[in-house]
Amino acid sequence: MSMIGDIFLVIGGVVIAIGGLGLLRMPDVYNRLQAGTKTATLGAMSVLLGIGLHHPDWWAKLLVIAGFILFTNPVGSSTIARAARISGVKPWRVESKQETD
């Protein structure tokens, strides 16, 4: 079980690191919110699962933490998106290039 826990810890760390990279690469606040929320939730759940496999007596606490994360991540991101929309932040759009022959 310890090795499986280590695998989940590494997976969670990699997902969180990729999410951080995605936050730097995304063009606007809406894309960043989407990338950050999904990777933070998945990465945190993987880390919590890995910790739970290392310390089976902590499952009750980890389930409370997981529930808190699963509830607050979407609420927080939608609140930030709403504030950005109210503030007038425009979504990023790809400018199409029309080729003329």
10 part of a folded domain: yes
60 part of a folded domain: yes
97 part of a folded domain: no
pLDDT tens digits, 52-100: 999 999 999 999 999 999 999 999 999 999 999 999 888 888 775 655 5
Token pair belonging to 1: 């079980």
Residue 3: the pLDDT is: 93
Q: For the whole model, what pTM was predicted?
A: 0.81
**Alpha helix stretches (DSSP H) within the chain:** 2-25, 29-54, 59-86
Tally of domains within the chain? 1
CA-nearest of 37, 50, 63 to 11 is: 50
Strand, helix or coil for residue 20: helix
Give the C-alpha distances (Å, rounded to integers) separating 25 from 31, 81, 84, 88. 9, 18, 19, 22
Domain housing 23: 2-86
91 part of a folded domain: no
7 part of a folded domain: yes
